[in-house]
Amino acid sequence: MVIQGSTRRQILRGSGIGAAGLIAGCLGTGGGGSEDELHIMTDYTGDAWDKHWNTLTDGFNEQNDISINLEKVGMQGTGGQRLATLMQSGNPPEMFHGTITQIGDLVNIGRTQSVSGVVDDLADEWGEAMFRDTITPIEGETHMIPHGVYAGGTLNYRADLYAELGLEEPETWSELVENVKAIDEAGIETSQGDKVRGFALPAQPAGKPGSDFSNWLYNAGGDVWQPGTENDLELWLDEDHVLAVFDHLNELANYSPDPSGLNWTSTIEDWTLGRLGHCIMNNAWLCGPAIANGLTDLALATEQTLIPKREGADPIQRGWVLADGTPVINGSSNPDTAKDFGRHMYGAEQGVATTLVEPMRFMPPYRGILETDEYQSHEYFQMEDGAFLEKQRYCMDEIAPKLTSEEAVTTPETLHINSMDITSEAVNRLVVSGNDPQDVYDWTISEYESALEDVQSQSNY
């Protein structure tokens, strides 16, 4: 399959990663702390978002006498760094878009407010929030207003290359490696002369590598935390599970673009340029930038399935699923106004339109949104006989439910530790620095033990 050329700037269309997502430090001017200002930090950027943010803020200001400071921050850690600076200065924003793991430290130290009332109000309009348990870390208290759902435990693969090479959808790690190797060694090139690599293995010391590691660990049959230890946390990170994951990552690295250069943004870019045969990516997100760049054939060929599991493994769940959204931060100047803005942004008037700014990046936070005529009539979901709507439904109905388990342990303390980059650093040490797997495992265990002691001493929820 020949992929027509696209520039890097063009690729950002439809990915949800605007210019702010490419460079650290592309920050707004606000510092928060004003009684007549609502400060929102967001990585929801790009031309479509700029237009929608204007609609949201203009509509809100018609009913509220308050200025809105919209600060656009980058992905892959830059937003978190900026948030930490504002928290330390005593001028936190009211809202910060991300997953709950990104603000897990704030939940644990008591710096996020319950937004159960807001989400209950939205549920009256749309039905119960999808996977609400993932944003309810304290019994009876929801701590994020959901924007959309990420099914992180999703393998994306090129169905056109599978058909060309006679490959079948993999169910085990060894089958995946066989397919990855077949594509990598097939000598397929993009229209720009780039070799199509078998798999995207990210190994930067922060961001996506840790996310992917979690998915592999689940599919090895393990987890970070011993199941059933919510009230007395017990570290699991079984050596057999982790070393098996490390061996698997080292093998996949042989068929990947330079792992030291891969993270969220670069993986999406490489996929849209046709350079990859497989990658782990949230739900059907990759279809969005492909469609936005006129690459409908590539979008159609981008298939989603569960991440394969280790031979003989019996996972408690097949990866992670989380709602993306925003907390309301304690210590900010206008938390009640922030809650009202959440009702405005996701309520009856704007909820569907908000979800449709990036129709493929997220699954809707409420099934009621997906079932509306407004949602289903979006141009993406009308094209190709509704093929992309079916991809959304497949991820929501067939993949996401397998990415959660009552056995898995989630507490404010575990969320706090998850906000760190321990496993990303471990993958970087393993794949990029070439450290011995056993040494990396020992380092990882030590880091988790130290982190657990620290976060338990800081708990204040």
pLDDT per position as a tens digit, 419-453? 999 999 999 999 999 999 999 999 999 999 999 99
* Cα distance between residue 196 and residue 459, in whole Å: 47
Structural domains in the chain (count): 2
- Answer yes or no: do 78 and 113 share one domain: yes
Beta 95-96 vs 37-42: how paired, if at all?
parallel
- Encoding tokens for residue 212? 């992917």
- Answer yes or no: do 438 and 386 share one domain: no
Q: Does residue 43 fall inside a structural domain?
A: yes
In this model, does residue 108 exceed pLDDT 50? yes
- Answer yes or no: do 34 and 158 share one domain: no
Residue where one domain finishes, among candidates 392, 416, 440: 392
- Answer yes or no: do 146 and 157 share one domain: no
Which pTM does this prediction carry? 0.91
Residue where one domain finishes, among candidates 368, 392, 416: 392
CA nearest neighbour of 207 among 268, 250, 120: 268
Range name among 64-78, 149-163, 242-256, 332-346 with the lowest pLDDT average:
64-78
| Strand, coil or helix: 315 | coil
Sequence-separated (6 or more) residues with CB below 8 Å from residue 133: 404
- Answer yes or no: do 249 and 280 share one domain: yes
| Strand, coil or helix: 151 | strand
- Answer yes or no: do 196 and 298 share one domain: yes
CATH number at residue 186: 3.40.190.10
In this model, does residue 340 exceed pLDDT 80? yes
DSSP character for 402? G
CA nearest neighbour of 403 among 152, 216, 212, 211: 152
Q: Does residue 7 fall inside a structural domain?
A: no
What letter represents residue 436's amino acid? Answer: D
CA nearest neighbour of 284 among 269, 267, 270, 305: 305
Q: Does residue 8 fall inside a structural domain?
A: no
User: Residue 303 belongs to what domain range?
Assistant: 152-319+405-458
Q: Does residue 438 fall inside a structural domain?
A: yes
Sequence-separated (6 or more) residues with CB below 8 Å from residue 10: 293
* Confidence band of 15 (pLDDT split at 50, 70, 90): low
Give the strands of the sheet with 67-72, arranged side by side.
67-72, 37-42, 95-96
In this model, does residue 175 exceed pLDDT 50? yes
Sequence-separated (6 or more) residues with CB below 8 Å from residue 176: 155, 170, 278, 308
Contact 161, 3 (CB under 8 A): no
* Confidence band of 79 (pLDDT split at 50, 70, 90): confident
- Answer yes or no: do 274 and 362 share one domain: no
- Encoding tokens for residue 260? 């030291």
Q: Express each pLDDT in 16-60 by its tens digit.
A: 543 333 222 222 333 446 678 999 999 999 999 999 999 999 999
Sequence-separated (6 or more) residues with CB below 8 Å from residue 77: 24, 206, 207, 421
